[in-house]
């Protein structure tokens, strides 16, 4: 008697379609969330170097985390290193499609602040 075919597991469709050339969404693990929270703790305490070092460590966990790029952009901006801040803001915007809208807005704000200073 022939065996019945094994059904393919159902995979839910992504919340947004991934277009060619577009990075798939970053998956946030509890370890990554902990690193991001630590970054913001350092940032709020004015420890910019610690925020930067922690964000860079987080990027080794998830290279496509727009929020980590936001921490880097904001910390460099706070240190008056506008070129670095804008570079990280632009990088973060590449991955912001799958991040909360507020992250993308803040990344754009860093870019806008640099443009205003350059005038």
Q: What separation in angstroms does the CA of 95 have from each of 52, 86, 89?
A: 18, 15, 10
Region of poorest pLDDT, from 26-30, 65-69, 92-96, 98-102? 26-30
- Residue 18: both structure tokens together: 């991934």
**Helix extents (H) in 7-47:** 30-44
What's the pTM value of the predicted model, to 2 decimals?
Answer: 0.73
pLDDT, tens only, 2-56: 666 655 555 444 555 555 555 555 556 899 999 999 999 999 999 999 999 999 9
Run of H or E including 61: helix 48-61
Q: Looking at domain 30-118, what is its CATH homologous superfamily?
A: Tetratricopeptide repeat domain (1.25.40.10)
Higher pLDDT, 70 or 22: 70
């Amino acid at each position: 008697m022939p065996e019945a075919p094994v059904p393919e597991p159902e995979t839910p469709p992504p919340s947004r379609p991934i277009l060619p050339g577009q990075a798939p969404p970053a998956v946030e693990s509890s370890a990554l969330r902990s690193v991001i929270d630590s970054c913001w703790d350092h940032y709020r305490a004015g420890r910019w170097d610690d925020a930067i070092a922690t964000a860079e460590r987080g990027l080794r966990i998830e290279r496509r985390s727009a929020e980590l790029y936001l921490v880097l952009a904001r910390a460099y901006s706070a240190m008056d290193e506008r070129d670095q801040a804008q570079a990280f803001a632009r990088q973060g915007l590449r991955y912001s499609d799958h991040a909360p809208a507020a992250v993308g807005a803040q990344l754009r704000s860093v870019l806008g602040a640099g443009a205003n200073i350059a005038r």
